Protein backbone atom coordinates (compact mmCIF):
# COMPACT_ATOMS: atom_id res chain seq x y z
CA UNK A 1 0.00 0.00 0.00
CA UNK A 2 1.40 3.38 -1.00
CA UNK A 3 0.99 6.75 0.65
CA UNK A 4 -0.62 9.96 -0.56
CA UNK A 5 1.03 13.23 -1.45
CA UNK A 6 -1.04 16.40 -1.05
CA UNK A 7 0.17 19.40 -3.01
CA UNK A 8 -1.58 22.65 -2.05
CA UNK A 9 -1.24 26.21 -3.30
CA UNK A 10 -0.22 27.07 0.27
CA UNK A 11 0.67 24.86 3.21
CA UNK A 12 0.64 26.49 6.65
CA UNK A 13 2.15 23.92 9.05
CA UNK A 14 1.56 26.18 12.11
CA UNK A 15 5.06 25.39 13.33
CA UNK A 16 6.99 27.66 15.70
CA UNK A 17 8.29 29.74 12.78
CA UNK A 18 4.78 29.98 11.29
CA UNK A 19 6.23 28.91 7.94
CA UNK A 20 4.31 29.60 4.75
CA UNK A 21 5.00 27.10 1.96
CA UNK A 22 3.89 28.20 -1.54
CA UNK A 23 3.27 25.69 -3.00
CA UNK A 24 3.66 23.12 -0.28
CA UNK A 25 3.56 19.37 0.11
CA UNK A 26 2.27 17.10 2.87
CA UNK A 27 3.08 13.39 2.47
CA UNK A 28 0.77 11.04 4.37
CA UNK A 29 1.62 7.42 5.09
CA UNK A 30 -1.06 4.71 4.71
CA UNK A 31 -1.54 4.61 8.50
CA UNK A 32 -2.48 8.28 8.63
CA UNK A 33 0.78 9.76 9.91
CA UNK A 34 2.66 12.54 8.16
CA UNK A 35 5.90 11.44 6.48
CA UNK A 36 7.17 14.79 5.20
CA UNK A 37 6.18 18.48 4.96
CA UNK A 38 7.92 21.16 2.95
CA UNK A 39 8.09 23.21 -0.23
CA UNK A 40 7.12 21.33 -3.38
CA UNK A 41 10.54 22.08 -4.90
CA UNK A 42 12.24 20.12 -2.11
CA UNK A 43 9.84 17.19 -1.93
CA UNK A 44 11.50 13.74 -1.95
CA UNK A 45 10.72 11.53 -4.94
CA UNK A 46 7.86 9.12 -4.30
CA UNK A 47 7.05 7.73 -7.75
CA UNK A 48 4.54 5.15 -6.53
CA UNK A 49 2.51 7.47 -4.29
CA UNK A 50 -0.89 8.89 -5.19
CA UNK A 51 -0.76 12.65 -5.77
CA UNK A 52 -3.68 14.95 -4.97
CA UNK A 53 -3.44 18.62 -5.91
CA UNK A 54 -5.61 21.01 -3.93
CA UNK A 55 -6.28 24.67 -4.62
CA UNK A 56 -6.34 26.63 -1.40
CA UNK A 57 -4.59 26.74 1.96
CA UNK A 58 -3.81 23.54 3.88
CA UNK A 59 -3.29 23.80 7.65
CA UNK A 60 -3.60 21.57 10.74
CA UNK A 61 -6.98 20.57 12.08
CA UNK A 62 -8.13 22.90 14.84
CA UNK A 63 -8.07 21.76 18.48
CA UNK A 64 -11.04 22.73 20.69
CA UNK A 65 -9.75 22.31 24.24
CA UNK A 66 -13.00 22.75 26.19
CA UNK A 67 -16.43 21.56 25.19
CA UNK A 68 -19.58 19.76 26.29
CA UNK A 69 -20.67 18.86 22.77
CA UNK A 70 -23.81 16.77 23.48
CA UNK A 71 -25.34 19.98 24.81
CA UNK A 72 -26.54 20.50 21.26
CA UNK A 73 -29.59 19.02 23.00
CA UNK A 74 -29.86 22.26 25.01
CA UNK A 75 -28.64 24.81 22.48
CA UNK A 76 -30.16 28.23 23.12
CA UNK A 77 -32.07 27.17 26.24
CA UNK A 78 -31.99 29.55 29.20
CA UNK A 79 -31.03 32.47 26.97
CA UNK A 80 -30.25 35.59 28.97
CA UNK A 81 -29.68 33.97 32.37
CA UNK A 82 -26.47 34.34 34.40
CA UNK A 83 -24.41 31.17 34.84
CA UNK A 84 -25.65 30.11 38.30
CA UNK A 85 -29.35 30.43 37.38
CA UNK A 86 -28.75 29.01 33.90
CA UNK A 87 -27.30 25.84 35.45
CA UNK A 88 -29.72 25.48 38.34
CA UNK A 89 -32.98 26.40 36.59
CA UNK A 90 -32.48 25.14 33.05
CA UNK A 91 -29.47 22.95 32.39
CA UNK A 92 -29.19 20.60 35.36
CA UNK A 93 -32.94 19.78 35.55
CA UNK A 94 -32.98 18.83 31.86
CA UNK A 95 -29.68 16.98 32.00
CA UNK A 96 -31.16 14.87 34.80
CA UNK A 97 -33.55 13.49 32.17
CA UNK A 98 -31.01 12.99 29.36
CA UNK A 99 -30.82 9.38 28.19
CA UNK A 100 -27.83 7.51 26.75
CA UNK A 101 -29.48 7.61 23.32
CA UNK A 102 -29.88 11.39 23.62
CA UNK A 103 -26.17 11.77 24.32
CA UNK A 104 -25.27 9.64 21.29
CA UNK A 105 -27.28 11.78 18.88
CA UNK A 106 -26.29 15.04 20.55
CA UNK A 107 -22.61 14.12 20.25
CA UNK A 108 -22.99 12.82 16.71
CA UNK A 109 -24.64 16.04 15.56
CA UNK A 110 -21.92 18.07 17.29
CA UNK A 111 -19.15 15.97 15.76
CA UNK A 112 -20.48 16.63 12.29
CA UNK A 113 -20.73 20.34 13.05
CA UNK A 114 -17.19 20.45 14.45
CA UNK A 115 -15.69 18.62 11.51
CA UNK A 116 -17.44 20.91 9.02
CA UNK A 117 -15.79 23.83 10.79
CA UNK A 118 -12.34 22.24 10.60
CA UNK A 119 -12.16 21.16 14.26
CA UNK A 120 -10.60 17.70 14.27
CA UNK A 121 -9.95 17.31 18.04
CA UNK A 122 -12.18 18.23 20.98
CA UNK A 123 -11.81 17.90 24.72
CA UNK A 124 -15.14 16.75 26.10
CA UNK A 125 -16.58 16.73 29.62
CA UNK A 126 -19.92 14.95 29.80
CA UNK A 127 -21.57 11.68 30.82
CA UNK A 128 -22.81 8.41 29.26
CA UNK A 129 -19.28 7.57 28.19
CA UNK A 130 -20.07 4.61 25.94
CA UNK A 131 -22.43 6.66 23.81
CA UNK A 132 -19.94 9.52 23.62
CA UNK A 133 -17.28 7.13 22.36
CA UNK A 134 -19.64 5.47 19.88
CA UNK A 135 -20.57 8.84 18.37
CA UNK A 136 -16.94 9.95 18.04
CA UNK A 137 -16.00 6.65 16.45
CA UNK A 138 -18.89 6.92 13.98
CA UNK A 139 -17.94 10.46 12.96
CA UNK A 140 -14.22 9.75 12.55
CA UNK A 141 -13.25 12.66 14.80
CA UNK A 142 -10.53 12.76 17.45
CA UNK A 143 -11.46 13.29 21.09
CA UNK A 144 -10.02 13.64 24.56
CA UNK A 145 -12.91 12.41 26.68
CA UNK A 146 -12.85 13.49 30.34
CA UNK A 147 -16.04 12.10 31.88
CA UNK A 148 -17.48 14.38 34.49
CA UNK A 149 -17.07 13.87 38.23
CA UNK A 150 -19.87 15.92 39.78
CA UNK A 151 -21.99 16.09 42.90
CA UNK A 152 -25.11 17.86 41.60
CA UNK A 153 -28.85 17.29 41.18
CA UNK A 154 -29.47 14.45 38.71
CA UNK A 155 -25.99 12.97 39.01
CA UNK A 156 -27.06 10.50 41.69
CA UNK A 157 -27.83 8.01 38.91
CA UNK A 158 -24.09 7.74 38.20
CA UNK A 159 -23.28 6.92 41.83
CA UNK A 160 -21.26 8.99 44.26
CA UNK A 161 -18.01 10.63 43.33
CA UNK A 162 -16.10 7.54 44.42
CA UNK A 163 -18.01 5.37 41.95
CA UNK A 164 -17.59 7.97 39.20
CA UNK A 165 -13.81 7.97 39.66
CA UNK A 166 -13.72 4.16 39.67
CA UNK A 167 -15.68 4.05 36.42
CA UNK A 168 -13.34 6.52 34.70
CA UNK A 169 -10.31 4.61 35.94
CA UNK A 170 -11.66 1.41 34.39
CA UNK A 171 -12.48 3.24 31.15
CA UNK A 172 -8.95 4.65 31.00
CA UNK A 173 -7.51 1.15 31.25
CA UNK A 174 -9.89 -0.22 28.62
CA UNK A 175 -9.17 2.51 26.06
CA UNK A 176 -5.45 3.01 26.69
CA UNK A 177 -3.57 3.18 23.41
CA UNK A 178 -6.63 4.12 21.34
CA UNK A 179 -5.27 6.29 18.50
CA UNK A 180 -8.31 8.61 18.37
CA UNK A 181 -9.90 8.61 21.83
CA UNK A 182 -7.89 9.54 24.93
CA UNK A 183 -9.50 9.22 28.37
CA UNK A 184 -8.94 11.65 31.22
CA UNK A 185 -10.75 12.86 34.35
CA UNK A 186 -13.27 15.70 34.45
CA UNK A 187 -13.73 16.88 38.06
CA UNK A 188 -16.25 19.59 37.30
CA UNK A 189 -15.08 22.29 39.71
CA UNK A 190 -14.13 23.03 43.28
CA UNK A 191 -17.67 24.24 43.98
CA UNK A 192 -19.32 21.07 42.62
CA UNK A 193 -17.18 18.55 44.53
CA UNK A 194 -16.06 18.02 48.12
CA UNK A 195 -12.38 18.38 48.88
CA UNK A 196 -11.73 14.62 49.26
CA UNK A 197 -13.04 14.03 45.74
CA UNK A 198 -10.65 16.59 44.26
CA UNK A 199 -7.72 15.15 46.19
CA UNK A 200 -8.59 11.63 45.06
CA UNK A 201 -8.80 12.64 41.41
CA UNK A 202 -5.35 14.18 41.75
CA UNK A 203 -3.92 10.97 43.19
CA UNK A 204 -5.52 8.62 40.68
CA UNK A 205 -4.73 10.77 37.63
CA UNK A 206 -1.13 11.18 38.77
CA UNK A 207 -0.69 7.41 39.03
CA UNK A 208 -2.13 6.89 35.54
CA UNK A 209 -0.62 9.93 33.83
CA UNK A 210 -4.13 10.95 32.73
CA UNK A 211 -5.30 14.46 31.88
CA UNK A 212 -7.28 16.35 34.55
CA UNK A 213 -9.81 18.77 33.02
CA UNK A 214 -11.65 21.11 35.38
CA UNK A 215 -13.49 24.43 35.48
CA UNK A 216 -11.62 27.16 37.32
CA UNK A 217 -12.58 30.74 38.16
CA UNK A 218 -15.24 31.00 35.45
CA UNK A 219 -17.31 33.56 37.33
CA UNK A 220 -16.38 36.18 39.92
CA UNK A 221 -18.02 34.70 43.00
CA UNK A 222 -18.41 30.98 42.23
CA UNK A 223 -15.57 30.06 44.59
CA UNK A 224 -16.64 32.21 47.56
CA UNK A 225 -17.77 29.27 49.72
CA UNK A 226 -14.68 27.23 48.86
CA UNK A 227 -12.40 30.15 49.74
CA UNK A 228 -14.28 30.77 52.99
CA UNK A 229 -13.68 27.16 54.07
CA UNK A 230 -9.96 27.63 53.44
CA UNK A 231 -9.27 30.89 55.24
CA UNK A 232 -9.75 33.12 52.22
CA UNK A 233 -7.40 31.22 49.90
CA UNK A 234 -8.23 31.49 46.21
CA UNK A 235 -9.71 28.44 44.48
CA UNK A 236 -6.46 27.98 42.56
CA UNK A 237 -4.58 27.92 45.87
CA UNK A 238 -7.06 25.41 47.31
CA UNK A 239 -6.68 23.06 44.34
CA UNK A 240 -2.92 23.27 44.68
CA UNK A 241 -3.14 22.52 48.42
CA UNK A 242 -5.33 19.50 47.71
CA UNK A 243 -2.69 18.09 45.36
CA UNK A 244 -4.71 18.34 42.17
CA UNK A 245 -1.91 20.20 40.36
CA UNK A 246 1.29 18.60 41.60
CA UNK A 247 2.75 16.19 39.06
CA UNK A 248 -0.42 16.17 37.00
CA UNK A 249 -1.30 17.19 33.46
CA UNK A 250 -4.03 19.73 34.26
CA UNK A 251 -6.25 21.76 31.93
CA UNK A 252 -8.14 24.60 33.64
CA UNK A 253 -11.16 25.80 31.68
CA UNK A 254 -12.03 29.52 31.59
CA UNK A 255 -9.59 30.87 34.23
CA UNK A 256 -11.26 34.28 34.05
CA UNK A 257 -11.01 35.55 37.63
CA UNK A 258 -7.35 34.90 38.42
CA UNK A 259 -5.08 37.26 40.34
CA UNK A 260 -1.45 37.80 39.45
CA UNK A 261 -0.58 35.37 42.25
CA UNK A 262 -2.96 32.77 40.80
CA UNK A 263 -1.41 33.07 37.35
CA UNK A 264 2.05 32.66 38.86
CA UNK A 265 0.83 29.61 40.79
CA UNK A 266 -0.55 27.99 37.63
CA UNK A 267 2.73 28.70 35.87
CA UNK A 268 4.73 27.05 38.67
CA UNK A 269 2.61 23.93 38.39
CA UNK A 270 2.53 24.03 34.57
CA UNK A 271 -1.27 24.11 34.55
CA UNK A 272 -2.66 24.77 31.07
CA UNK A 273 -5.66 27.01 30.35
CA UNK A 274 -8.62 26.61 28.02
CA UNK A 275 -9.57 30.16 27.01
CA UNK A 276 -13.25 30.43 26.05
CA UNK A 277 -13.88 34.07 25.07
CA UNK A 278 -17.19 33.52 23.28
CA UNK A 279 -18.98 31.62 26.04
CA UNK A 280 -17.60 33.89 28.75
CA UNK A 281 -18.83 36.95 26.87
CA UNK A 282 -22.27 35.48 26.20
CA UNK A 283 -22.75 34.65 29.89
CA UNK A 284 -21.16 37.98 30.94
CA UNK A 285 -18.70 36.03 33.07
CA UNK A 286 -15.77 38.27 32.19
CA UNK A 287 -12.71 37.75 30.01
CA UNK A 288 -9.56 35.86 30.94
CA UNK A 289 -6.32 37.86 31.04
CA UNK A 290 -4.84 36.14 28.03
CA UNK A 291 -1.73 38.24 27.47
CA UNK A 292 -0.52 38.08 31.10
CA UNK A 293 -1.07 34.31 31.08
CA UNK A 294 0.96 33.90 27.91
CA UNK A 295 3.70 36.17 29.26
CA UNK A 296 3.80 34.03 32.42
CA UNK A 297 4.54 31.01 30.25
CA UNK A 298 1.19 29.25 30.57
CA UNK A 299 0.19 26.81 27.85
CA UNK A 300 -3.07 28.20 26.44
CA UNK A 301 -5.53 26.77 23.94
CA UNK A 302 -8.98 27.86 22.79
CA UNK A 303 -12.35 26.33 23.61
CA UNK A 304 -15.87 27.02 22.48
CA UNK A 305 -17.44 25.61 25.67
CA UNK A 306 -20.72 23.79 25.09
CA UNK A 307 -23.21 24.70 22.36
CA UNK A 308 -25.73 25.63 25.05
CA UNK A 309 -23.61 28.56 26.20
CA UNK A 310 -21.93 29.81 23.02
CA UNK A 311 -24.15 28.70 21.05
CA UNK A 312 -22.04 27.26 18.23
CA UNK A 313 -18.91 25.15 17.91
CA UNK A 314 -17.07 27.57 15.63
CA UNK A 315 -13.44 27.80 16.77
CA UNK A 316 -12.66 30.34 14.03
CA UNK A 317 -14.87 32.78 15.91
CA UNK A 318 -12.91 32.07 19.10
CA UNK A 319 -9.65 32.87 17.30
CA UNK A 320 -10.99 36.29 16.31
CA UNK A 321 -12.54 36.98 19.72
CA UNK A 322 -9.37 35.98 21.55
CA UNK A 323 -7.36 38.48 19.53
CA UNK A 324 -9.99 41.23 19.71
CA UNK A 325 -10.51 40.96 23.46
CA UNK A 326 -6.78 40.76 24.15
CA UNK A 327 -6.22 43.98 22.24
CA UNK A 328 -9.06 45.68 24.06
CA UNK A 329 -7.79 44.56 27.45
CA UNK A 330 -4.23 45.64 26.72
CA UNK A 331 -5.26 48.74 24.75
CA UNK A 332 -2.62 47.62 22.29
CA UNK A 333 -3.33 46.83 18.61
CA UNK A 334 -0.14 44.75 18.47
CA UNK A 335 -1.27 42.38 21.23
CA UNK A 336 -1.81 38.81 19.99
CA UNK A 337 -0.91 39.19 16.31
CA UNK A 338 -2.49 36.90 13.72
CA UNK A 339 0.29 34.31 13.91
CA UNK A 340 -0.17 33.92 17.66
CA UNK A 341 -3.97 33.89 17.47
CA UNK A 342 -3.99 31.05 14.92
CA UNK A 343 -1.39 29.18 16.94
CA UNK A 344 -3.74 29.11 19.96
CA UNK A 345 -6.19 26.97 17.99
CA UNK A 346 -3.59 24.62 16.54
CA UNK A 347 -0.22 23.94 18.17
CA UNK A 348 -1.29 25.89 21.28
CA UNK A 349 -4.25 23.60 21.79
CA UNK A 350 -2.04 20.54 21.36
CA UNK A 351 0.46 21.94 23.86
CA UNK A 352 -2.33 22.65 26.36
CA UNK A 353 -3.19 18.95 26.22
CA UNK A 354 0.42 17.83 26.46
CA UNK A 355 0.08 16.24 23.02
CA UNK A 356 2.91 16.17 20.48
CA UNK A 357 1.03 14.21 17.80
CA UNK A 358 -1.50 16.86 16.67
CA UNK A 359 -1.71 20.64 16.16
CA UNK A 360 1.10 20.98 13.63
CA UNK A 361 1.76 19.53 10.19
CA UNK A 362 5.09 17.83 10.84
CA UNK A 363 6.82 14.49 10.38
CA UNK A 364 5.35 11.79 12.59
CA UNK A 365 2.21 13.68 13.57
CA UNK A 366 -1.28 12.62 12.63
CA UNK A 367 -2.50 13.91 9.27
CA UNK A 368 -5.35 15.96 10.75
CA UNK A 369 -5.73 18.65 8.10
CA UNK A 370 -8.06 21.39 6.90
CA UNK A 371 -8.25 22.93 3.43
CA UNK A 372 -9.50 26.52 3.18
CA UNK A 373 -10.90 27.95 -0.04
CA UNK A 374 -8.70 30.94 -0.89
CA UNK A 375 -10.70 31.78 -4.04
CA UNK A 376 -12.86 34.02 -1.89
CA UNK A 377 -13.00 37.80 -1.48
CA UNK A 378 -11.82 37.32 2.10
CA UNK A 379 -8.41 36.27 0.77
CA UNK A 380 -7.95 39.28 -1.54
CA UNK A 381 -5.48 40.88 -1.78
CA UNK A 382 -2.37 38.82 -1.04
CA UNK A 383 0.70 41.01 -1.29
CA UNK A 384 2.93 39.04 1.08
CA UNK A 385 3.01 35.65 2.77
CA UNK A 386 1.89 37.25 6.03
CA UNK A 387 -1.37 38.29 4.36
CA UNK A 388 -2.41 34.64 4.09
CA UNK A 389 -2.15 34.17 7.85
CA UNK A 390 -3.83 37.51 8.56
CA UNK A 391 -6.70 36.71 6.20
CA UNK A 392 -7.13 33.25 7.75
CA UNK A 393 -7.60 34.90 11.14
CA UNK A 394 -9.45 38.12 10.34
CA UNK A 395 -11.48 37.63 7.16
CA UNK A 396 -11.80 33.88 6.61
CA UNK A 397 -14.24 31.78 8.62
CA UNK A 398 -15.86 28.39 8.90
CA UNK A 399 -17.63 28.98 5.57
CA UNK A 400 -14.31 28.60 3.75
CA UNK A 401 -13.58 25.09 5.07
CA UNK A 402 -13.71 22.82 2.04
CA UNK A 403 -12.02 19.52 2.98
CA UNK A 404 -11.05 17.98 6.33
CA UNK A 405 -8.99 14.89 7.11
CA UNK A 406 -8.50 13.02 10.40
CA UNK A 407 -5.51 10.65 10.39
CA UNK A 408 -5.50 10.92 6.61
CA UNK A 409 -9.17 9.99 6.24
CA UNK A 410 -11.36 12.46 4.36
CA UNK A 411 -14.28 13.30 6.68
CA UNK A 412 -15.46 16.54 5.02
CA UNK A 413 -15.46 17.00 1.26
CA UNK A 414 -16.48 20.17 -0.52
CA UNK A 415 -17.93 21.54 2.71
CA UNK A 416 -20.10 18.52 3.52
CA UNK A 417 -19.47 15.99 6.28
CA UNK A 418 -19.07 12.54 4.73
CA UNK A 419 -19.39 10.54 7.95
CA UNK A 420 -22.49 11.95 9.66
CA UNK A 421 -26.03 12.17 8.32
CA UNK A 422 -26.64 15.64 9.72
CA UNK A 423 -30.33 15.67 8.76
CA UNK A 424 -31.07 12.50 10.71
CA UNK A 425 -28.95 13.60 13.67
CA UNK A 426 -30.70 16.99 13.67
CA UNK A 427 -34.13 15.38 13.68
CA UNK A 428 -33.18 13.11 16.58
CA UNK A 429 -31.82 16.01 18.62
CA UNK A 430 -34.91 18.12 17.87
CA UNK A 431 -37.20 15.40 19.20
CA UNK A 432 -35.06 14.80 22.28
CA UNK A 433 -34.82 18.52 23.07
CA UNK A 434 -38.63 18.87 22.94
CA UNK A 435 -39.02 15.94 25.33
CA UNK A 436 -36.43 17.33 27.77
CA UNK A 437 -38.07 20.76 27.77
CA UNK A 438 -41.50 19.26 28.45
CA UNK A 439 -40.20 17.42 31.51
| In a domain? residue 98 | yes
Pair 248, 343 in one domain: yes
**Predicted local distance difference test score (pLDDT) of residue 174:** 97
Q: Identify the domain containing residue 387 by its residue range.
A: 4-60+365-417
| In a domain? residue 280 | yes
DSSP result, 401-416 = EEEEEETTEEEEETTE
Q: How many domains does the chain have?
A: 2
Pair 391, 288 in one domain: no
**Predicted local distance difference test score (pLDDT) of residue 367:** 98
| In a domain? residue 359 | no
| CATH number, residue 91 | 3.20.20.140
Pair 253, 397 in one domain: no
If pLDDT is split at 50, 70 and 90, which confidence band does 137 have? very high
| In a domain? residue 425 | no
Pair 150, 125 in one domain: yes
38 vs 58: CA distance, rounded Å: 12
Backbone angles phi, psi at 88, to 5 degrees: -70, -35
Strand 249-254 with 272-275, pairing: parallel
Encode pLDDT of 154-184 as tens digits: 788 899 999 999 999 999 999 999 999 999 9
Pair 42, 187 in one domain: no
Encode pLDDT of 308-365 as tens digits: 989 999 999 999 999 999 999 999 999 999 999 999 999 999 999 999 999 999 999 9
Pair 402, 296 in one domain: no
**Predicted local distance difference test score (pLDDT) of residue 154:** 78
| In a domain? residue 301 | yes
**pTM for this model (two decimals):** 0.97
Pair 340, 369 in one domain: no
| CATH number, residue 407 | 2.30.40.10
Pair 338, 401 in one domain: no
Segment 35-46 shows an average pLDDT of 98
**Predicted local distance difference test score (pLDDT) of residue 85:** 87
6 vs 119: CA distance, rounded Å: 20
Pair 46, 68 in one domain: no
**Predicted local distance difference test score (pLDDT) of residue 343:** 98
| In a domain? residue 266 | yes
Which residue, among 107, 279, 127, 268, has the nearest Cα to 188 in the 3D structure? 127
| In a domain? residue 357 | no
**Predicted local distance difference test score (pLDDT) of residue 156:** 85
Pair 259, 326 in one domain: yes
**Bigger pLDDT: 341 vs 87:** 341
| In a domain? residue 303 | yes
**Bigger pLDDT: 412 vs 283:** 412
Q: Which of 297, 330, 352 is the last residue in one of the domains?
A: 352
Encode pLDDT of 94-125 as tens digits: 998 999 999 999 999 999 999 999 999 999 99
Pair 51, 153 in one domain: no
Pair 223, 285 in one domain: yes
Amino acid sequence: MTGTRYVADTVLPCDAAMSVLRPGVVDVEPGGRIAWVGPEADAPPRPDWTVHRRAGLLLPGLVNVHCHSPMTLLRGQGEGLPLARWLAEVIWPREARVSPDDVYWGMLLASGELLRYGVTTTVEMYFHDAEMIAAVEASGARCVLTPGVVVAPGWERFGGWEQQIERITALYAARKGDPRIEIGFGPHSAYALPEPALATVGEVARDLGALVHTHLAETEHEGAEVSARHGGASVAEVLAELGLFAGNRVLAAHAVWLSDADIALLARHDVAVAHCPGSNAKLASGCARLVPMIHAGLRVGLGTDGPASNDDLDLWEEIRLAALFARQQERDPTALPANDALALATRGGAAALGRDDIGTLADGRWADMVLLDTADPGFVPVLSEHDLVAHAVWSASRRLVRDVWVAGRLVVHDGECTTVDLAEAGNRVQAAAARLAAG
